Structure 1
Amino acid sequence: MSVNEFVGHFLTKAHHPTPLGGRNAKHEGWSNPILKRSDHTTLEAPQRRGRNLVETVGQRLRNAIAKGDLKPGDKLPSESGLTQQHQVSRTVIREAIASLRADGLVEVRHGVGVFVLAPQAGLQKGFRSVDSNRVSSIIEMLEVRAAIEIEAAGLAASRSSPAQQELIFECLDTMNRQIAAGSSTVESDRAFHLAIADSTNNPRFRELLEAIGQQMIPRSLLQEEDVDISPPDYLSQIQSEHSLIARAIADGDDSAARDAMRTHLKGSQQRYRALIRRS
């Protein structure tokens, strides 16, 4: 079953979820004016046409790296410098850098800058082989994510700091705003899962997820330019599942966190398997 055929089924078979949930009242008012946000820089809601600009800037930077204009170890211009160079907003630059970082092309060093990484062979290349024309290939990727992220959620519940938990909730808030605005949530969804990986305080979890690349979020295969074509009720269902994961982590309940992540990722697998059976 091709992705194009899948879209038709997807738009008509979405679940009817519980309403969008914000954070638990227990976690309201978590803003920390002195918290320095880490390199999760995809959290601002993009403008409706921002996706095209993100992809354009990202491709320019990828081309510069591929041609050797930007070599391993080179430092990219500052955010303001890239903004002026490409004549786009800071949000576009942040999302483009986040995309490069997710694909293992650059490294963000806090307080220093963004640096080009040496090409990585083997594991990362293998994870990029998701076939967007085969729903079964997407399921394979989701199974790998489940093996990684269920345990990551449990460790995050046991080890995360208040600042890391706050970042997870910021990702939730960003997705809520983007859903309300009709903007794509793909990048902020990925930022949510990477924030959980970071909250394990074991860098290998982030490395494994970043090795999967942009296709870590299957909806990226169904996105039309900067518009997420997923039905609102489907996005609401996903967001409800995200909220349960975040609350369990913030409560320090490692068992509930694992269960919530298992429900989330196994549910995605079941939805895609149902499409295969109907095809």
Structure 2
Amino acid sequence: MQSKDRSKNSGSLVFQVGESLRQSISSGQYVPGDKLPSEAELTEAHKVSRTVIREAVAAMKSDGLVEVRQGAGIFVLAPASLLASSRRIDKARVSSDLEVLEVRAPLEIEAAALAAARRSPAQEEAIFECHRQVLRYIEQNESIREADLALHFAIADATNNPLFRQHLEFHGGAVIPQSRPVPDPEPAEQTAYRKLIHQEHEAIVMAISDRDEEAARNAMRDHLRGSQIRYRDLLRNSRAGSN
């Protein structure tokens, strides 16, 4: 029973560790160029597994907050580096994100249906809480990446088949592409995009709550298909712009 509880809470632990590290950076405890504590030190400080630390760092790396230097450690990026990287579309990264989305689709569609059939009351509440957390971050105009990831973990956990969660964990931070994969998005555009994701999540969450397997399957299919379409449009537009 204890191992199940740890698995169920891992998504929220990733979120908590990520938020703690982000706050340490935004508060000036760690400035650009500083090296963050090692994985072992972070594991001990936060009393979590290395998998949780790696997922939290992967999400921060994808958001351009840190870089991982092989054999050297985790370093805070300078704002100028973040701004420069945000001005262009990394076509290779976007293509990679699209590939992950395509692999996720069949498994997560079935996971949503199984979650609708099998979820316990506690698992249902965990899904609702993750969904509420996404909205809180939208309202605070902050990245929804880690809350989004926690929601998908909660749905995977509700299948009561650990292989669904292991599939998501295998891809790490790549499971949830950055909030809006475009250079220098306008705040209003970013918020609108996040609200769209929240609405797509809403359909999935309500279908799982209603124990409607087919509706849950369809809602997850629409959500992941929508993400794929958005990424294909992004690649198409980037190719047109380079001609």
- The answer to whether TM tops 0.5 is yes
SS at match of 1:205: helix
Distance in 1 of aligned mates of 2:53 and 2:152: 14
Task: Trace 1:161-180 onto structure 2 (pairs within 5 A).
Answer: 161-180=120-139
Q: 1:48 to 1:208 in 2, by over 3 A?
A: closer
Alignment length, in residue pairs?
190
Give unpaired runs (5+ residues) of structure 1: 1-34, 83-93, 105-131
Whether 1:77 aligns to 2:44 is yes
> Following the alignment from structure 2 to structure 1, what is the Cα–Cα distance between the partners of residues 222 and 236?
20
**Alpha-carbon distance in structure 2 between the residues aligned to 1:269 and 1:197:** 20
Please state if 1:41 is matched with 2:52.
no
Match in the other structure for 1:204: 163
- Root mean square deviation, CA, Å: 3.8
- Aligned residue in 1 for 2:200: 241
Deviations 1:101-131 (A, max 9, x none): 5789xxxxxxxxxxxxxxxxxxxxxxxxxxx
Structure 1 position 209, deviation (Å):
0.4
> Structure 1 residue 273: deviation in Å?
1.0
Partner deviation per Cα, 1:65-118 (whole Å, 9 max, x = no partner): 5xxxx7xxxx95364xx7xxxxxxxxxxx8x973425789xxxxxxxxxxxxxx
Partner of 1:111: none
Contact 2:118 2:159 (C-alpha < 8 Å) held by counterparts: yes
Answer 1 or 2: higher relative contact order, Cα 8 Å, separation at least 6: 1
Which of 213, 220, 233 pairs up with 1:261? 220
Counting helix residues as a fraction of each chain, which structure ranks higher?
2
* TM-score, structure 2 normalization: 0.65
SS at match of 2:13: coil
Question: How far apart, CA to CA, are the structure 2 residues paired with 1:232 and 1:205?
Answer: 30
Tell me the distance in 1 between the aligned counterparts of 2:39 and 2:14.
22
The answer on whether the counterparts of 1:46 and 1:183 sit within 8 Å (CA) in structure 2 is: no
Deviation at residue 49 of structure 1 after TM alignment: 5.2
The range that moved more, 215-224 or 177-186, is 215-224
**CA positional deviation for 1:47:** 8.3
Counterpart Cα distance in 2 of 1:148 and 1:103: 25
Residue 100 of structure 2 corresponds to which residue in structure 1? 141
CA contact (8 A) 2:127 2:205 kept: yes
Q: Deviations over 1:216-249 (max 9, x none)?
A: 111168599xxx9971011000000001100000
- The 1:76–1:218 alpha-carbon spacing in structure 2 relative to 1, beyond 3 Å, is closer
CA contact (8 A) 1:171 1:189 kept: yes
Does 1:215 find its partner at 2:168?
A: no
Residue 50 in 1 paired to residue 27 in 2?
Answer: no
